[in-house]
Structure 1
Amino acid sequence: MRIDLGEDPLALDRQVCFALSVASRSVIAIYRPLLKPYGLTHPQYLVLLALWDSAPRTVRDLSDVLRAEPATLSPLLKRLETLGYVSRGRGRGDERTLTVDLTEKGKALRAEAEKIPYRVVETLGMEVSELERLHAVLGKVIAATDRAGARS
């Protein structure tokens, strides 16, 4: 099977990586002013989303869910702890395991944070159905890169 990438396969405006990079930076920029009142960065927000989904969690579990290295998460978790949103502690059965849990302040923040997705959709000015289709396609891209990574 021959893959046809057109006349110029290196044209910048045809590169998936370029479109994903610009879209990612642009969407994350929408979150910045929404997260600022809570003292949060977007990566910290992602950690909280994972914890609001299920807490407590080990750092290893957060690493897997967020697809981030534990060393990358460490400063995020320290900052979230300083802000009073999470607590960190050693596992009861295994001292090597670091567990992260929401504090009362972190749990209470969830009610405020529920407004954020609505504001993002409003700012984008796109239909929810369009964003759901985009999310589904990105899920396929992620799965394809996972499969490609397993072959490397």
Structure 2
Amino acid sequence: MVMSDQNLVLDEQLSFILYLCSKETIKRYKEYLDPLGITYTQYLAMLVLWNDNGISVNELSKKMYLDSGTLTPLLKKLEGKNLVERHRDSTDERVVLVSLTKKGVDLKDQIRHIPGEILAKTGVPPQEAADILEMLKSVLDRTTSLNYGKKEIPSSENA
């Protein structure tokens, strides 16, 4: 094999390995989230709101890297499940805020154990997982800065 052909081997593609890791991780989350009636993407929105309740739809969109065409239906579904509510900002009617309902706040207690259980099942030690997370944040930061302007990814110490 010619040395430059190494770039064309599927198992040597960082993007492919990241894709598989994401796909397998989401599959593991699905096992926990299906009984609760939420999807993985809805879970991610809830994570943001549990840490920053009452933020604007625009801020939520930025934090989740989703456009409004994807986020709006997601929020409608969460509203339909009575987990969130949207309302206009009283100081600026153009801004729509997203807030957790009591049911949305209470869901956190049913979910808080899930990330730890999934990590434990992988057998990856917590420190190694933290190191991998920081490396992946660096990859994301470098990748997003290529085409879209640098977007700062918070370190796990600040997250």
Number of positions where the alignment pairs a residue of Structure 1 with one of Structure 2: 147
1:8 maps to what in 2?
6
Q: Aligned letter for 1:69?
A: D
Identical amino acids, percent of aligned pairs: 33
Q: What is the 5 A alignment of 1:109-120?
A: 109-120=107-118
| In structure 1, C-alpha distance between the alignment counterparts of 2:7 and 2:35, rounded to whole Å | 44
Structure 2: runs of 5 or more not aligned? 150-159
2:25 maps to what in 1?
27
For normalisation by structure 2, the TM-score amounts to 0.87
Conserved 8 A contact 1:30-1:123: no
| In structure 2, C-alpha distance between the alignment counterparts of 1:45 and 1:56, rounded to whole Å | 16
1:122 CA displacement: 2.1
Q: Aligned letter for 2:74?
A: L
**Farther off after superposition, 24-33 or 84-93:** 84-93
Match of 1:47 among 45, 48, 57: 45
| In structure 2, C-alpha distance between the alignment counterparts of 1:23 and 1:6, rounded to whole Å | 26
Q: Which runs of 4+ in 1 moved over 2 A?
A: 5-8, 93-96
How far does the alpha carbon of each residue in 1:68-100 deviate from its partner, in whole angstroms, 9 at most, with x for none? 112211111111111111011122122221110
1:150 CA displacement: 4.0
2:54 maps to what in 1?
56
Q: Quick check: 1:93 aligned with 2:91?
A: yes
Structure 1: runs of 5 or more not aligned? none
| In structure 1, C-alpha distance between the alignment counterparts of 2:30 and 2:121, rounded to whole Å | 12
**Farther off after superposition, 14-23 or 142-151:** 142-151
For normalisation by structure 1, the TM-score amounts to 0.91
